[in-house]
Amino acid sequence: MNYDQKILEPNESVNMTDSATTAMNTESGTPKMTARHVDVFYGDKQAINDVSIDVNMDSVTAFIGPSGCGKSTFLRCMNRMNDTIPIARVTGEIKLEGEDIYASQMDVVQLRARVGMVFQKPNPFPKSIYDNIAYGPRIHGLATGKEELDEIVESSLQRAGLWGEVKDRLDDSGTALSGGQQQRLCIARAIAVDPEVILMDEPCSALDPIATAKIEELIHELRGKYAIVIVTHNMQQAARVSQKTAFFHLGTLVEYGETTDIFTNPREEKTRDYITGRYG
Amino acid sequence: MTGATLLFLIIGLGLIAWFFGRLKAAGMQSGGKHSRSALHSLPNYHGWYVALWAILPAAIFLAVWSFASPALITDAALTSPAAAQLPQDAFARAAILSEARAIASGNQVNAFNPLSQSMVEPYRDAITYYQMIGTVAALLLVFACGVYAWLQIKPDLRARTKIERVTMLVLLLASLIAIVTTVGIFLSLVFESVRFFSMVSPIDFLFGTEWNPKAVAGPRGETGFGAIPLFWGTVFIGAIIAMIVAIPLGLMSAIYLTQYAPAKFRSWMKPILEVLAGVPTVVYGYFAALTVAPALRDFAVSIGISNASSESALAAGVVMGIMIIPFVSSMADDSIAAVPSAMRDGSLAMGATQSETIKKVLIPAALPGVVGGVLLAVSRAIGETMIVVMAAGLAANMTANPFSSVTTVTTQIVQLLTGDQEFDSPKTLAAFALGLVLFIVTLLLNLIALRVVKKYREAYE
């Protein structure tokens, strides 16, 4: 703990990220989501310490770091899923297209429709494949009739690359699919409400390599249509799917930059140590 | 020597046997303080081995003997010269013999029948004789088996394994007692019901619509045992009115407790609900009969229902429903809590509100468990007795008017069996037939409910 604080003063880290993000903004337009000086507490314990980061529309952003470093916690702040944990407290500022998502006039239901989420373990509802996809459009009233809903279901499944596999059995239970198909179903379900940002919390950690490859391919295809943030333990995966990488350690953001830079030429020694497998 | 004294003596001897067994085994323990013992088992186990050998065969013998000896004693008494004067009529004979036996064993002082007095002496002799045989045989068994076991003690005797096996058998017996008793109750119900059905046709009983058991004074096969009004009353109160109250309230309370309640509130609310489930049903009975029923009657009269009874199906059903709420709530609570939180997070992350998540994801996912819980609740409600006895009334009406009085299977069983009754009249036996029907129905409901709940649990594991 002391060691970490010594080499990484909070101010230092902020200055670094601010300069880094400003540099990137000039390259890729205005950021979709911005976070400034975010702290997260679980009761008395601080899980996130002064994190500032920008997420861009046209790139996939990967959060990497050892277990317990706060990357999932930070991800869950971005669509306020931490609200479901009574003892969690978030300070600082997170904006979606300039709107503060923690402001009192922000409707959390609207927010989550705009910032979708895919979880670590596939969690389809115990309903039919069709109803799983139609769930979001129905609660948000996105379709006016049966045909429109059918269209949304088909296009969502097509975008998730699942349509060909399930089009003849839309009435089967979503839980009857294989693990990889279930995860793509969950991605299709998130797409169906037409979000702007998709947050993925270790979406492949429960899947085999083939299913993982399919999800990664899907992430490639979805890039540009949605701002994607992916949390992963797997550094090769981060290198494969992302354009931007953020390295978290013990609740602080150590380094954030172009994925190629992070993996080939990291500025921070800690990042280098983690990427080369010296600890983590 | 009485049976109890003998038993204590045997146990005392067993303790002595334990001591000797342990002593012998301890003597075989060789080597220094920390070297591995030459014995297979610890000396204690050897002690128990000898003690059990000394006690168990003798105890089993005593149990068998206490069943067999009365017949032997009677036989012996009948060979005495006094027995020649006994009447030939089997019934009178048995009465005299049982009286004589009671005097001989000291349970009765004076004989009512002089013939009994003459039989007392032969009985007393026979009892003394057989008691002596029993005592001597039991003590011999204690010594023989104890010495046998003591001689068996060798370093490689697997005393521990054998003791473990005896322990296992004792536990098995303990677990069988509840099951065997239930089977016994069921069989007694079946036998008495068969006697009943030899007097009243099962068709008349199960499908007859007139219940008036007092009318059976006439010839055989007379009606008045049509149980349909009772079945209807039971279903009306237990499965319809009580569930209309208990299901929505129980479910809503479970939803509040699992989804909305702050952890602190939940931590004291849930135990309170569970305590409510333990309130004696007779207390609910008071409440139904003295508070709810009069209030409902007054209400019914005030809205113009003139024939409202002071004992109503509604009063009993509503109070029974209230009694069942904690039960339904706790089952529903468990089912909802068993739905993985990933399901809830998935729905919330789609932008669903909390109530949408509950309605569209949690309840459907928890439904099988909730249904199982409701079935268990129904089975409890139809077997419930005190509330209906106190509040539902005795009139066997076939009516769907909740303000009128109806009667249930359990109420009628109580009515048929309380007071002085002959135990071979169809009126009394009808109680067993009703009990049998109730037993079978609740058993089936429980089976279905447990299967539903189990299947649902598997789905999430």
Reported as a single tens digit per residue, the pLDDT across B235-282 is 999 999 999 999 999 999 999 998 888 889 989 988 888 888 888 989
Which residue blocks in A80-231 are alpha helix, DSSP H? 108-114, 129-140, 146-159, 163-166, 179-192, 209-222
| Residue type at position B443 | L
Confidence check: pLDDT of B216 > 80: no
Confidence of residue B218 (pLDDT cuts 50, 70, 90): low
Q: Given an 8 Å threshold on Cβ–Cβ distance, is A116 in contact with B349? A: yes
Contact A113 B263 (CB under 8 A): no
Residue A167, token pair as written in the block = 């089009």
For B179, the enclosing helix (H) or strand (E) is helix B159-199
Cβ of B347 and A116 within 8 Å? no
Angle CA A136–A137–A141, to nearest 5 = 120
Please indicate if any CB of chain A lies within 8 Å of the CB of B70. no
Q: What's the confidence (pLDDT) of residue A13?
A: 42
Question: Searching chain A, which residue's CA lies closest to the CA of residue B264?
Answer: A86
Do residues A46 and A39 lie in contact, with contact meaning Cβ atoms separated by under 8 Å? yes
Whether pLDDT at B108 is above 60: yes
Q: Would you call A119 and B365 a contact, using CB atoms and an 8 Å cutoff?
A: no
Please identify among residues 163-192 of chain A the ones whose CB lies closer than 8 Å to any CB of chain B.
Answer: 186, 189-190
Q: What are the pLDDT digits (tens) for A118-140?
A: 999 999 998 899 999 999 999 99
Please state, for a pLDDT cut of 90, what percent of chain B lies above it. 30
Q: Contacts of residue B342 in chain A, CB cutoff 8 Å?
A: 119, 121, 123
Element of type H or E holding B20: helix B3-28
How many whole angstroms separate alpha carbon A273 and alpha carbon A280? 9
Rounded distance between C-alpha atoms, residue A17 and residue A268, angstroms:
12
Nearest residue on chain A to B361, alpha-carbon basis: A125
Chain A residues with beta carbon closer than 8 angstroms to that of B365: 125-126
A81 has a chain B CB within 8 A of its CB: yes
Look at residue B210 and tell me whether its pLDDT is greater than 50. yes
Quick one: pLDDT band at residue A237, thresholds 50, 70, 90?
A: very high
Chain A's closest residue to B340, CA to CA, is: A123
Residues with Cβ within 8 Å of residue A64, at least 6 apart in sequence: A71, A232, A233, A235, A238, A245, A246, A247, A248, A274
CB-based contact A117 B349, cutoff 8 Å: yes
Residue-averaged pLDDT of chain B: 85
Q: Supply the pLDDT for residue B391.
A: 86
CB contact under 8 A, A193 and B350: yes
Query: pLDDT tens digits, residue range B139-185?
Result: 999 999 999 999 988 888 888 899 999 999 999 999 999 999 999 99
Q: Inter-chain contact A112–B350, Cβ cutoff 8 Å?
A: yes
| A16, containing H or E segment | helix A10-28
pLDDT at A229 > cutoff 90: yes
- Integer Cα distance of B212 and B214 in angstroms: 6
In angstroms, what CA-CA distances link A83 with A22, A34, A39, A42? Answer: 30, 19, 14, 11
Kind and range of the H or E element at B265? helix B263-276
Chain B CB within 8 Å of residue A193 CB: yes
**Interchain pair A81, B345: CB under 8 A:** yes
Q: Which of B339, B343, B350, B356 to mutate to test the interface with A (most CBs of A within 10 A)?
A: B350
CB contact under 8 A, A113 and B365: no
Find out whether B285 and B207 touch, Cβ atoms under 8 Å: no
CATH architecture of the domain A3-275 equals 3-Layer(aba) Sandwich (3.40)
Distance CA B298, CA B293 (A): 9
Indicate the residue type of B316.
A
Indicate if the pLDDT at residue B190 is higher than 50.
Answer: yes
Please check whether residue B347 touches A, CB under 8 A. Answer: yes
* Predicted model pTM: 0.72
Give the minimum alpha-carbon distance from A2 to chain B in angstroms, rounded to a whole number. Answer: 36
* Confidence class for position B441, pLDDT limits 50, 70, 90: very high
Q: Are B433 and B405 in contact (CB under 8 A)?
A: no
pLDDT tens-digit map of B273-311: 888 888 898 999 989 989 998 898 888 888 887 777 778
A121–B342 CB contact, under 8 Å = yes
CA–CA gap between residue B304 and residue A92 (Å, rounded):
66
Answer yes or no: is pLDDT of A12 > 80. no
How far is CA A89 from each of CA A11, B211, B318, B456, rounded to the nearest angstrom? 22, 68, 45, 36
HSE (side-chain half, CA atoms, 13 Å) at A157 = 24
Side by side, the strands of the sheet bearing A33-42 are A45-55, A33-42, A88-96, A99-100
Rounded to 5°, angle at Cα B269 from B264 and B271: 110
Q: What is the pLDDT of residue B117?
A: 78
Predicted ipTM beyond 0.90? no
Contact B350 A81 (CB under 8 A): no
- Alpha-carbon distance B384 to B288, whole Å? 13
What are the φ and ψ backbone dihedral angles of A53, each rounded to 5 degrees? -160, 150
Domain boundaries, chain A: 3-275
Which of the four pLDDT bands, split at 50, 70 and 90, describes residue A22? very low
- Comparing CB atoms, the residue among A110, A123, A139 nearest residue B346 is A123
Residue B36 per-residue DSSP state: P
Could you tell me the two tokens for B16? 């002595």
Domains in chain B, please, with CATH?
A: 3-157 (no CATH), 228-460 (1.10.3720.10)
